[in-house]
Amino acid sequence: MEELKQRILRDGRAKAEGNIVQVSSFLNHQLDPQLMMHCAEEFARIFKDKGVNKIVTIEASGIAPAIMTGYLMKLPVVFIKKKIASNLDETWQSWVWSFTRSDNTTVCIDRRFLTADDRILFIDDFLADGHASGSVIHLCRQSGAQIVAMGFLVEKGFATGGQFLRDHNIYYHALATIKRIKEDNSIELA
């Protein structure tokens, strides 16, 4: 998606050391609602005929594009919580490695909102090494839900997440792919 790619090149910041990409000015801290809606429109176009009946995301940066995609596709959106809340009785649980915080976090989803009747589209901000995707796979296996597809705003093409999903036979689409972070900390897109 050209608009997202241009925004990454213009406003994204990168650090070759650690392969860090910051898109805080429009995605991860401050949001650009118009850009998020355009991304959602593209997701809705790509995934409209996949037979999805629910969109799932994970706290926190995937929520905005997931909600907008759900609005356009007229589907419910449920997000995986990164803390087990006291008001949840029965949950499916997994864990996810956080690249940005460098720690493992227990994640959960209410069993009422992820069932064997669900054909899900997972939407998230980044695909890097596939840790969040792996958690979704684990939660779906517990619940019996079927993963139809996954959509990401940005894929780190140099990381292992894409291969992880291909190895699990999961169809996915990224709106922008970062080929590499150069030594001068500039971003090269695929």
Q: C-alpha angle with apex 110: 39 to 166, nearest 5 degrees? A: 50
The answer to whether residues 171 and 148 touch, using CB atoms and an 8 Å cutoff, is yes
Tell me the domain boundaries of the chain.
2-189
What pLDDT does 98 receive? 74
**Mean local confidence (pLDDT), 137-147:** 97
Number of Cβ atoms within 10 Å of the Cβ of 177: 17
| Total residue length of the chain | 190
Question: Residue 19 — pLDDT band, cuts 50, 70, 90?
Answer: confident
Question: Residue 69 — pLDDT band, cuts 50, 70, 90?
Answer: very high
* Paired residues of 58 in beta bridges: 80
Q: Which long-range contacts (CB under 8 A, 24 or more apart) does 160-169 make?
A: 160/129, 160/130, 161/127, 161/128, 161/129, 161/130, 161/133, 162/127, 162/130, 164/129, 164/130, 164/133, 164/134, 165/127, 165/130, 165/133, 168/137
Domain 2-189 has CATH 3.40.50.2020: yes
Note the pLDDT tens digit of each residue in 151-186: 999 999 999 999 999 999 999 999 999 999 999 999
Predicted TM-score (pTM) of this structure: 0.94
What pLDDT does 173 receive? 98
What angle, 0 to 180 degrees and rounded to 10, lies between the N-to-C axes of helices 2-11 and 33-47?
140
Using the Cα atoms of residue 112, residue 116, residue 121 and residue 123 in order, give the sign of their dihedral.
positive
- Percent of the chain clearing pLDDT 90 (strictly above): 81
The answer to whether residues 69 and 175 touch, using CB atoms and an 8 Å cutoff, is no
